[in-house]
Amino acid sequence: MKNTVSKTMPSNTGFNAFFTNCCSACEGHVKSVRREFSDQAWSALVAWKEVQSTAVDSPLCNDCYFNFRDVLIERADEMKLMTANVAAKVASASLALMNGKVARA
Ligand SMILES: [Zn+2]
């Protein structure tokens, strides 16, 4: 069975509608929907103080959603860098484990 998405909704892969009348980010009493951002996207938004960590994976209003989306698009390179740094740290840590010694800072 397929999910039906109303015409007013932005088309989004894996869209999982969950409505409330309160936005977790701006705390406005407006129709809000849980948005499907990736874990990296949420971490980046929290790191940039665009959103409280408590709002992660919670319903957002359209204004906040489009605002966050714009931020993520504008700062896509920074997010890539952040993700790459984390990946590099994990890689060097596991390499150090394989070599049986701790990597020097
Ligand atoms: Zn909002």
Span from the CA of 31 to the centroid of ligand 1 (angstroms):
9
At 2 the pLDDT is: 52
For residues 41 and 70, the answer to whether their CB atoms sit within 8 Å is no
Q: What are the boundaries of each domain within the chain? A: 19-99
At 26 the pLDDT is: 94
76-99 helix and 62-74 helix, angle to the nearest 10 degrees: 60
Span from the CA of 75 to the centroid of ligand 1 (angstroms):
20
pLDDT by residue for the chain (105 residues), tens digit each?
555 444 444 444 444 457 889 999 999 999 999 988 999 899 999 999 999 999 999 999 999 999 999 999 999 999 888 888 878 888 888 888 777 765 555
Span from the CA of 68 to the centroid of ligand 1 (angstroms):
10
Question: What percentage of the chain's residues is helix, strand, coil (to nearest 5)?
Answer: 45, 10, 45
Tokens of 64: 């906040």
Per DSSP, 103 falls in state: P
Q: Which residues contact 89 (CB under 8 A, 6 or more apart)?
A: none
Span from the CA of 77 to the centroid of ligand 1 (angstroms):
25
Span from the CA of 4 to the centroid of ligand 1 (angstroms):
24
Span from the CA of 24 to the centroid of ligand 1 (angstroms):
7
At 18 the pLDDT is: 73
